[in-house]
Amino acid sequence: MISIRPAQFPQWLQALADEQSGVKPMVLDVREPWEFQMASVKPDDGFDLVQMPMRSIPARYLELDRNRPIACLCHHGARSAQVVHFLMQQGFEQVVNVHGGIHAWSQERDPSVPVY
């Protein structure tokens, strides 16, 4: 499994842009809805943000595009790592874990994201 730190996220996006022109990556936030409401990353032109709680992934993963790069995000990185593992077992190849989760995102990329 590949993991990236939030500080490495811009380089990950750039590498994807260099390799796959026109493909927009996705951040898959697998936290619970109350967590998502409390703190969330801000999508921009470089990626889309999709919220899908971890418990719903087995029933909903077919909604995800297998050909689209996905960075999975949770609170600290444990749940998202499980989702990455699950998606890889389902044949997804371009999926990474955001190590440290939204907590690290706040510390390394965007201090306006609340820490909880």
| CATH number of the CATH domain containing 6 | 3.40.250.10
pLDDT tens digits for range 43-92: 888 999 999 999 999 999 999 999 999 999 999 999 999 999 999 999 99
Could you report the per-residue pLDDT of 27-42, keeping only the tens digit for each? 999 999 999 999 999 9
Instruction: Evaluate whether residue 114 is within a structural domain.
Output: no
Report pTM.
0.95
- What is the residue range of 34's domain? 2-108
Catalytic residue of the set 64, 73, 74, 98:
74
| Domains held by the chain: number | 1
- Taking CA atoms, 13 is separated from 25, 33, 52, 58, 67, in Å, by 7, 26, 21, 26, 15
Enter the tokens of residue 43. 């999508």
Residue 47 inside a domain? The answer is: yes
Residue 116 lies in a domain: no
Residue 103 lies in a domain: yes
Closest CA to 53 of 76, 38, 72, 70: 72
74 noted as active-site residue: yes
